[in-house]
Amino acid sequence: MLIHLRLTVPADLAPGVRDLLVGHDHVTNVVSVPGASLDPAGDLITCEVARETVGELIATLTDLGLQERGGIVVETPTATPFAAARRLEAAAPGHPDDAIIWEAVLAKAEGASRPTVTFHLFLVLATILAAIAVITDSTILIIGAMVVGPEFGVIAAICIGIVFARWGLVLKSLRLLVLSFTFAILAVALLGLLGAALGDVTAEMVTRPRPQTGFIWHPDRWSFYVALVAGAAGVLALSTNKADALVGVFISVTTVPAAGNLALALATWETTEMQGALAQLGINLLGMVVAGVVVLALQRLLWDRVMAGSERLFRVRQ
């Protein structure tokens, strides 16, 4: 798989950028249109680069000053059905599916740390589903609430901020996580009070034995273990752009279900369930952050060597 780079290059940087791309072993289809860029004024240069080495190339372009004075746009083509693409993929170290573009990871983290109306709405709706699941003791609704919940992106942003020492990113993400969960829990608690006034929600519904959903407010060491595995899987999927694997992460952790249980416990003032649900929420968040930080740190330190080693191993086995 190749990555398409579209570069807007000031005229004084253009010779160095062109020489870099033309002389690079994993770059092809270099196109330069002098004077095509109006803002910033300069040249338009495009190319295709092997996904495995695009991070290294962007770092070099940044050292040349292009990040500050020009523009770098990273795009993923739908397909690259030509011979040079196959040659580049074969020559690049590792497999393109294992490649990590750290600039893209950081961009995703920055985006996830920004509060939006849709983020809050999704979290409130997910918490409502979780609260209904508690009342009806429904596993299906619990899974639905887990999938709808949008919180993992913010959790991943916290991990990325810690590993890259982007403390502003960490603070923004923590603030969004705390405030959004607080808002969702209070909003659903108010709905619970309304339901109690109408007779649709009672304390007995919340405290009765719940064979399918009672685990939500009964955290144990396995809750932490699951959160560790889910956090590791989540950041691995995010960093390697494996969106399909994130669904499994969403339905593994008990963050949103715990929020829904906590909201109902507040509405009915069941302090034991409040404590259990709050502990479950905290344990899951902590486990995911710990695992996420460890996995991302190991990826930054060792991933290039892992890719090179895996290429040799798989080549021998073939």
User: Are 3 and 47 spatial neighbours (Cβ–Cβ below 8 Å)?
Assistant: no
d(CA 252, CA 141): 14
The ranges assigned to domains in the chain are 2-92, 105-304
User: Are 232 and 292 spatial neighbours (Cβ–Cβ below 8 Å)?
Assistant: yes
d(CA 241, CA 96): 11
C-alpha distances in Å from residue 56, one per residue of 25, 302, 303: 12, 15, 13
d(CA 165, CA 34): 38
This prediction's pTM: 0.86
- In order, the DSSP letters of 219-272 are --HHHHHHHHHHHHHHHHHHHTT-HHHHHHHHTT--HHHHHHHHHHHHHHT-HH
d(CA 70, CA 13): 9
Least confident stretch, 63-72, 141-150, 177-186, 299-308: 299-308
Q: Which amino acid is at 5?
A: L
Give 47: exposed, middle or buried? Use CB within 10 Å, 0-12, 13-18, 19+.
buried
Of 146, 161, 131, 160, nearest to 226 by C-alpha is 146
Which pLDDT score is estimated for 66? 95
- With a cut of 70, say whether residue 315 has pLDDT above it: no
- With a cut of 80, say whether residue 219 has pLDDT above it: yes
- Choosing among 3.30.70.120, 3.40.30.10, 3.60.10.10, 3.40.50.970, the CATH entry for 2-92 is 3.30.70.120
Of 75, 85, 104, nearest to 239 by C-alpha is 104
- With a cut of 60, say whether residue 318 has pLDDT above it: no
Tokens for 162, please give them: 């810690």
Which pLDDT score is estimated for 85? 87
User: Are 59 and 3 spatial neighbours (Cβ–Cβ below 8 Å)?
Assistant: no
Banded model confidence at residue 152, pLDDT cuts 50, 70, 90: very high
Residue pLDDT, tens place only, 234-259: 999 988 888 766 777 777 788 999 99
| Kind plus residue range of the DSSP H or E element containing 74 | strand 71-75
Output DSSP code: residue 94.
S
Banded model confidence at residue 317, pLDDT cuts 50, 70, 90: very low
Question: CA geometry: angle at 167 spanning 161 and 168, to 5°?
Answer: 100
Which pLDDT score is estimated for 235? 92
Residue pLDDT, tens place only, 36-67: 999 889 999 999 999 888 988 999 999 999 99
Q: Tell me which residue has tokens 């030509």.
A: 82
